[in-house]
Amino acid sequence: MPQVTVTIAGHTYRIACAEGEEAHLEGLAAAYDARVEEMRGTFGEIGDLRLHVMAAIAQADELDEAKQRIAALEAEVAALNSVNAARDERLERIEMRLAEGIQMAAERIEGLARSLNAAGQG
């Protein structure tokens, strides 16, 4: 199992990960380290544990907001799909009525043609 070495808040950690996930894990660790350093710049030296907790909560908050946006977008897609389905049903009904109208017109034209042929032969 591959391992990566990451540095967070000046501490180095070796972490095991799945094959091919090394770069992803390093990126996540770098983002978290940047968040800790951002918190350190904002709040000063308030203790590593407190900084880590604050950084973790800030990232959890971003994740929660992203989940809410995804849920809202999924609801919007479902609503659009519903509208599309209703539109498709309406179009299908219109096409059926149009086909019936064309069929009726064709039957009338054939009847007229037969009448004209009969009159011309008589």
Confidence of residue 121 (pLDDT cuts 50, 70, 90): confident
Average pLDDT over residues 89-97: 93
What is the number of structural domains in the chain?
A: 1
In whole angstroms, give the CA distance from residue 1 to residue 30. Answer: 21
- How many Å is the Cα radius of gyration of the chain? 35
Report whether pLDDT(122) > 70: no
pLDDT tens-digit profile of 12-71? 999 999 999 999 999 999 999 999 999 999 988 888 899 999 999 999 999 999 999 999
Other residues' Cβ atoms within 10 Å of the Cβ of residue 35: 20
Strands 3-8 and 11-16: antiparallel
Sign, CA torsion 58/62/67/72: positive
Report whether pLDDT(101) > 70: yes
Range of the domain at 112: 3-121
pLDDT tens-digit profile of 1-17? 899 999 999 999 999 99
